Amino acid sequence: MTQWAGRTATDIAEAVRRGVVTPREVVAEHLARIDGQDGRIGAFRVVRAAAALAEAEAVRARADLSQLPLAGVPVAVKDNLPVRGETTRNGSAATPATPAAEDHVTVARLRAAGAVVVGLTHVPELCVFGTTDGVHGIARNPWDPTRTAGGSSGGSAAAVAAGLVPIALGNDGMGSLRIPAAHCGLIGLKPGTGRVPVDLGGGWFGMSENGPLATTSADARLMFSVLAGERFDAADGELVASGADQGPRAGRTTPSGSRPLKIAFSARSPIAGVRVGGTYAALARQAARTLAGAGHHVATAHPPYPLSFATVVLARWAGGTAQDAEGLDPRLLAPRTRRHAAVGRFAGRLGLLRTDHRAALNKRLDPFFAEYDILLTPALARRGPAAAAWHERGWLANVLVNTACSPMTPPWNLSGLPALAMPFGTLATGLPGSVQLVGRPGSELQLLDVVAQLEELCPWERTAPAARAHR
């Protein structure tokens, strides 16, 4: 019997459209894997077993089944995005346990494309920190369950890396997709501003974006295209940008490979005083050499990060938490969350939450990205922290460990430029290596083209060993 748990979303959807397998069979296999493996990983807060099977039957009954880009594909959703009929706890005991009346627009787009929501994944409280732990549980890295899966989309990343679902939905306000993707050996794409609907309350003053976590460039491209509202052409298995959602780069989502790109390599940290570990810099340098060998023009060049950058992003990071905590009982919030919100309120009183910081940063970056198509950097600066109850530790300890591990991601939230993390190489610890790609506005598909090229030249293991052993 063919096993569908552990297969790519692209393979599953094609098989369902052709009638090789039913959505219910696919979903049932994934639910069985979740039941057998999630106890040691902690990816899910809620598993919608009965509801997901009913949803799968509804997909099978759709008249447009043969036209659905994600036909029957199981998907996990980060627990700060509303899923109709489920509570949205956002990692906290302080949030209301009231079922959502409607799907978030991104969830609605996935369901309209034929995906089946199998569960909601763990996040740190209010999605603040880069380790996913809290009152609802701890999400662990499937490659090494003693280490964190990262955050804040850690549960979603753990679910994909463990082969519990082929793709998952998350979001990224300071690296919250790219950090767990880097820890767990996945592709995590933070779209540029305006490419995918956000609707996350304050959205950390415009820094947050919703995006996909996937194990292949094809799956990341497929899921991003659905989230961006593109139309699927079942005749040739491609997505075509719709008139309403064309964005800066319309057209088919197939890899172009049309010209060599100008790529800048930099392992310089944007945050003064935070160094990138030699192993992580060396992996990114190896990726740069690989791209140069493939015909791209690669040079070492450093973006002109402002000295004030760390202060600006800390203010927005904390200020967004202060907004999200409004109306919640502070007695039910973890101490690190309360302190972070207090820092955000103080930043507001100091006038550090001005709206012109993005424009000022992009004015500095524009000449750099006028010269280079893509920036290549390490995705992380060091190994992720232990999988532990970091929510019980002090605020400063959390801020310091997060900053030391992942200083490379926040600039691209403030700038609004598209950025992704992707697997590359293997660390001495046996954990997946990862690099970050950053592009110009509207270059999400170009970034994914480069991922596809590196995937072909330096293929990676899609899922952690325990997941592969159960195929």
152 an active-site residue?
Answer: yes
The span from the first CA to the last CA of the chain, in angstroms, equals 11
10 contacts: CB under 8 Å, gap ≥ 6: 216, 218, 219, 222
Give the residues across from 434 on adjacent strands: 423
User: Which residue from 319, 332, 317, 335 is spatially nearest to 96, judged by alpha carbons?
Assistant: 332
Catalytic entry in 92, 153, 176, 406: 176
d(CA 191, CA 187): 12
In angstroms and rounded to an integer, the radius of gyration of the C-alpha atoms of the chain is: 20
Question: To which H or E segment does residue 120 belong?
Answer: strand 116-121
Give the residues across from 213 on adjacent strands: 168, 188
DSSP 461: -
User: Which residue from 2, 8, 3 is spatially nearest to 166, judged by alpha carbons?
Assistant: 8
Q: Is the CB of residue 141 less than 8 Å from the CB of residue 368? A: no
309-325 vs 357-371: helix crossing angle, rounded to 10:
130
Catalytic entry in 78, 153, 156, 406: 78
Q: Phi and psi of 204, rounded to 5°?
A: 55, 50
| Per-residue burial over 317-339, b = 16 or more CB atoms within 10 Å of its CB, e = otherwise | bbbbbbbbbeebeeeebbebbbb
176 an active-site residue?
Answer: yes
Catalytic entry in 152, 208, 415, 434: 152
Q: Is the CB of residue 117 less than 8 Å from the CB of residue 111? A: yes
d(CA 384, CA 434): 12
Written as one letter, the residue type at 190 is: K
Q: Is the CB of residue 240 less than 8 Å from the CB of residue 197? A: no
d(CA 225, CA 69): 10
Give me the active site residues, please. Answer: 78, 152, 176
